[in-house]
Amino acid sequence: MPHGSGSLVVQKPSGGIEHPTSMSSSNSQDGHQHIRHSLAPRAVRESQSQMAEVVLPNDANPLGNLLGGRLMHLIDIAGAMAAHRHSHSHVVTASMDHIDFHLPVHIGDLLILKSSVNRAFTTSMEIGVKCWVENYIAGTTRHVASAYLTFVAVDEQGKRKPVPPVVPETEEEKQRYEDAGRRRELRKEESARRKAAKQIR
Ligand SMILES: CC(C)(COP(=O)(O)OP(=O)(O)OC[C@H]1O[C@@H](n2cnc3c(N)ncnc32)[C@H](O)[C@@H]1OP(=O)(O)O)[C@@H](O)C(=O)NCCC(=O)NCCS
Measured in Å, residue 117 CA sits from the centre of ligand 1 at: 17
Nearest CA to ligand 1 atom 40: 94
To test ligand 1's pocket by mutation, which of 117, 123, 152 has the most ligand atoms within 8 angstroms of CB? 152
Contact 81, 49 (CB under 8 A): yes
Residue 95 CB less than 6 A away from ligand 1? yes
- The sign of the dihedral angle between the CA atoms of 187, 101, 143, 93 is positive
Q: Where are the alpha helices (DSSP H) in 62-147?
A: 68-87
User: Tens digits of per-residue pLDDT, 73-122?
Assistant: 999 999 999 999 999 999 999 999 878 899 999 999 999 999 999 999 99
What's the confidence (pLDDT) of residue 26? 45
Whether residue 1 lies inside any domain: the answer is no
Whether residue 2 lies inside any domain: the answer is no
Give CA 16 to chain center in angstroms: 18
Whether residue 124 lies inside any domain: the answer is yes
142: domain range?
Answer: 9-200
Question: In this structure, what CATH number is given to the domain that contains residue 35?
Answer: 3.10.129.10
pLDDT tens, position by position, for the chain (201 residues)? Answer: 333 334 344 444 443 323 333 444 444 455 554 444 569 999 999 999 999 999 999 999 999 999 999 999 999 999 999 999 999 999 999 999 878 899 999 999 999 999 999 999 999 999 999 999 998 888 899 999 999 999 999 999 999 999 999 999 999 999 999 999 999 999 999 999 999 998 887
H or E, element range at 199: helix 171-200
- Could you give the CA distance from residue 45 to residue 168 in angstroms, rounded to a whole number? 9
Strand-pairing partners, residue 33, are: 27
Total domains in the fold of the chain: 1
Whether residue 147 lies inside any domain: the answer is yes
Contact 76, 68 (CB under 8 A): no
Whether residue 179 lies inside any domain: the answer is yes
Whether residue 3 lies inside any domain: the answer is no
